[in-house]
């Protein structure tokens, strides 16, 4: 059986990005795992993420503020923080760290 080399989430992080970069790391009919790189990003005003599946997000590096529809306060996430966003729970990125790209791991599941 051939050897499959390990991959590293912190390797090949682009130095400059105009927008968020989504990379699918693994996917099946029931789950999708993504690495997201957010360079001083915010969702376009008025736009919302409204996803078909539940999503667990984990901040590996950097920080972010999420606006969740119906919640009065921003949810602030720092390295090590994680949360679950239920399917169709509309949300948007209010900000990500300006001094370094924010690195996320996102798991979308049924």
Q: What is the pLDDT along the chain (110 residues), one digit of tens a residue?
A: 677 778 899 888 876 788 889 999 999 999 999 999 998 989 999 999 999 999 999 999 999 999 999 999 999 999 999 999 999 999 999 999 999 899 999 999 98
Domains in the chain (CATH in brackets) are 21-109 (2.60.120.10)
pLDDT for the residue 7: 87
Nearest CA to 78 out of 93, 92, 97, 91 is that of 97
What contacts 30, CB < 8 A, 6 or more positions away? Answer: 109, 110
pLDDT attached to residue 65: 98
The whole-number pLDDT of residue 1 equals 64
């Amino acid at each position: 059986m051939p050897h499959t080399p390990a991959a590293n989430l912190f390797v090949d992080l682009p130095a400059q990005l105009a927008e968020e970069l989504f990379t699918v790391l693994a996917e099946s009919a029931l789950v999708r795992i993504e690495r997201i790189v957010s360079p001083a990003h915010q969702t376009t005003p008025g736009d919302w993420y409204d996803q078909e599946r539940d999503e667990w997000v984990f901040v590996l590096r950097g920080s972010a503020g999420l606006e969740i529809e119906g919640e009065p306060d921003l949810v602030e996430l720092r390295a090590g923080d994680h949360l679950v966003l239920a399917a169709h729970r509309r949300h948007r990125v209010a900000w990500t760290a300006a001094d370094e790209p924010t690195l996320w791991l996102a798991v979308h599941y049924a």
